[in-house]
Amino acid sequence: MPDPQPKPHASERPSEPVWKFRGYEMRPAEFNTAMVHYYRAEIQRSNVWRQRLDNTTNWAVVATGAAISFVFSNPQNHYSVIILNTLLVTLFLWMEARRYRYYELWSYRARLMETDFFAAMLVPPFAPHPEWAENLAESLIQPQFSITMWEAFGRRFRRNYMWIYFVLGIAWAVKIFIHPLPAESWAEFVSRAAIGPVPGEVMLVLGMLYNGLIFIIGWLTASLHQATGEVLPKFESESPSFFENLWRREQKAQSPANGQPGAEGASPSPASAPSFLHTRRRQQLLALVITVQPQAVSDRILKEMRRGVTALHGKGMYSQQEREVLMIALTVTETPRLKSLVREIDPNAFIVVSPAQEVLGRGFQPLSE
């Protein structure tokens, strides 16, 4: 029986494939380990800010319960405590909206890894989304809130604080009606609503205007879907909220075709037409490179950065020398690599990097028809 073929020595085995990205080299095992630890860190940070959101809501609930208990514990206790508590709840809502913006910043990164990295490797073609690393790196280099203050304010109001305002409003009306004795007429109810020199009619109008403004903000911001994060799915939900339904009905009523099926110019129903939620767009830049070695620089950019280069003819008005100006469209995360590459070839090169309003084409957003 022939001897079994000896196993190759470790040094003779084929080397493990190396993951290369913008000049850096890392083995797949090392890269995956780093991503797992980073994902855990972002989840932990998101959980910390989630707890801060819950704490603010708890403050509002406890303050509301304490105010209502105090007001109804004695007929002589004035209902103005409920008004003060309403103002305090609004302050809590504003604080929670601010905290929610930070929470969305951290959860955006975790959600990006879940949808475009982990989930993408579980379904064909079993590869991460081509732009996930670019989006994540940009968020780390130049952090920006993925949600506006008004959207955060409206979202937290609709999810939690709307019911607190309802309870406070009902408690305010019941307190005025039953204490010290049940009101026998509307005029008596209005007179009890007075606070000091302020007539009851004025207090009623101010109360309706204040609460109405809060609810209007909650309704108008229902259509804002700038942030996805952990709260909203990657694709739009098929069961919109009550306020979203109201907003969509209003938009449908204002459309030229009134949203009737088959009418010319009518748009498909938002609930039936699949649509992506608005996601954060990468920051796009336009770089101009003036160098005495345009061919060498452009070759390195094409090969290593895989970005297109356009050569423009230019002339220095001070030196009266003709130069080639290289124009490159790139993203914010590629800027350090471009500077390093140009510096290696021509330390005296001149580089201008400016933001681009929109870049359409291969490697960026598809050119829409």
Residue 41, CA atoms < 13 Å, CB-side half-sphere: 6
> Residue 108 burial (CB < 10 Å; 0-12/13-18/19+)?
buried
The per-residue pLDDT for 274 is: 32
pLDDT score, position 259: 43
Average pLDDT of span 124-138:
74
Pairing of strands 310-315, 24-26: unpaired
Separation between Cα atoms, residue 85 and residue 66, nearest integer Å: 9
Write down the mean pLDDT value for the chain.
78
* pLDDT surpasses 50 at 44: yes
Burial class (CB in 10 A: 0-12, 13-18, 19+), 300: middle
Other CB atoms within 10 A of residue 352 CB: 11
**For residue 34, what pLDDT is reported?**
85
What is the token pair recorded at 65? 């319960």
Cβ–Cβ under 8 Å, residues 317 and 338? no
pLDDT exceeds cutoff 90 at 86: yes
The domain defined by 284-355 folds into Alpha-Beta Plaits (3.30.70)
Kindly list the strands in the beta sheet with 310-315, ordered across the sheet, starting from the edge strand earlier in the chain: 310-315, 322-331, 284-291, 350-355
Q: Higher model confidence: residue 13 or residue 218?
A: 218
Q: At what angle do helices 80-113 and 28-73 cross, to 10 degrees?
A: 170
**How far apart, in whole angstroms, are the C-alpha atoms of residue 75 and residue 354?**
67
Please report the pLDDT score of residue 271 as a whole number. Answer: 37
pLDDT digits (tens, 9 = 90+) for 216-241: 998 888 877 655 544 444 444 444 55
Query: DSSP 3-state helix, strand, coil percentages of the chain (rounded to 5)?
Result: 55, 10, 35
Helix (H, G, I), strand (E, B) or coil at 117: helix
pLDDT exceeds 70 at position 161: yes
Residue 326 phi, psi dihedral angles, 5° rounding: -95, 130
Residue range 184-198, pLDDT digits in tens: 899 999 999 999 899
pLDDT tens sequence across 254-266: 554 444 443 333 4
Question: Tens of pLDDT along 276-333?
Answer: 333 455 678 899 999 889 999 999 999 888 888 989 988 888 888 888 899 998 887 7
Residue-range domain boundaries for the chain = 21-223, 284-355
Mark out the alpha helices in 74-199 (DSSP H runs): 80-113, 132-141, 149-156, 162-178, 186-192
Half-sphere exposure of 282 (CA within 13 A, CB side): 21
Q: What pLDDT score was predicted for residue 199?
A: 92
Q: Say if CB 249 and CB 257 are below 8 A apart.
A: no
pLDDT value of residue 253: 59
Buried b (16+ CB within 10 A) or exposed e, 203-232: bbeebeeebeebeeebbebbbbbbbbbbee
User: Which of the four pLDDT bands, split at 50, 70 and 90, describes residue 368?
Assistant: low
pTM: 0.63
pLDDT at position 236, please? 43
For residue 185, give Cα distances in angstroms to 78, 181, 182, 208, 335: 20, 12, 9, 20, 73
